[in-house]
Homo-oligomer: A and B are copies of this chain.
Amino acid sequence: MSIPRLRGVLAPAVTPFRSDLSPDRDRFVRHARWLLAHGCAGLACFGTNSEANSLSAGEREELLNALVEGGIPAAALMPGTGCCALSDSVRLTAHAVAAGCGGVLMLPPFYYKGVTDEGLFRNFAEVIERVGDSRLRLYLYHIPPVANVPISIPLLERLIRRYPGIVAGIKDSSGDWNNTQAVLDAFRGDSFDVFAGSEVFLLANIRHGGVGCISATANINPGPIRHLFVNWQSAEADALQASLSATRAVVQKYPMIAALKAVIAHYGNDPEWATVRPPLVELTPAQSDALAGALDQLGFKMPELQSGAAAG
């Protein structure tokens, strides 16, 4: 039996650390529950905003197990499993499939720059072949501003033709709507699902056939983002989009990951949440206060966050 395809609003769930920089399983599971209860259809855990690349493969496996053991439905999970090392990508992808995850979100190997589409094809093909499981749903992760290794449309074409059904979609975090639209146009008949990498492009993406967004700020604002996803055909859709984009603009004045954690720490009254792993640096108290003040002015809320924390 095939798991239904993920669609809607997914959060690249931020990863909490204790003050000693070790991953905090309990806060992680609580945050995951809060996200699913407040608008997220799924969790793209271990994404860029999850500081996944600051976690070892073993730490990622332990945290994924913690989610499943904590009652999060595996079918709602799309963990990031793309690493620099082929062996790590195979290990994490196999682990995710065995856990029953709804998909995996796969970065290209991102250390070597200027690599060819042939080399990237071989990387993804090796992962698929070595995992060797028809339950695998692989979503490519295109984020050239960070990875500096793009996923081109000819590469997508080749992967989709070779592994139909397994190569299931893409998260486009290029920040370039023209690229997202080109991908949508190229694979319209292919059961290939396009997620925008930011809710700023959510309405445009759905209107052109996309299936949702996987966005940093879904960590803190999932309800309103879902509200637009559900009501994209309503008369108020453009106004809802403008409101989402305004909230996003306030947050992204700061380094995104530190800002998301500062917001959760503030609205959840839980200061330890602000901890990040090097090479990231947490916001200063003045930055955190200014960010919360600006969000308050927009009427921003994170409902039930404190009671959610207390319940964990």
Contacts and interface: CB of A to CB of B under 8 A. Distances in A.
A119 B257 CA distance: 13
A278 interface: yes
B85 A120 contact: no
Interface in A195-219: none
A224 B160 CA distance: 49
Interface stretch (A52-60, A228-236, A293-301): A52-60
Contacts of A279: 108-109, 112, 115-116, 119-120, 122-123, 149
Interface residues of A, number: 38
B146 A56 contact: no
Contacts of A280: 112, 115, 119
6 contacts: A53-B84, A108-B279, A112-B146, A119-B280, A122-B278, A148-B148
Interface string A263-290: 0000000000000011111000000000
A179 to B, nearest CB: 19
A110 B281 CA distance: 15
Contacts of A123: 278-279
A57 B56 contact: yes
Interface string A137-170: 0000000011111000000000000000000000
A191 interface: no
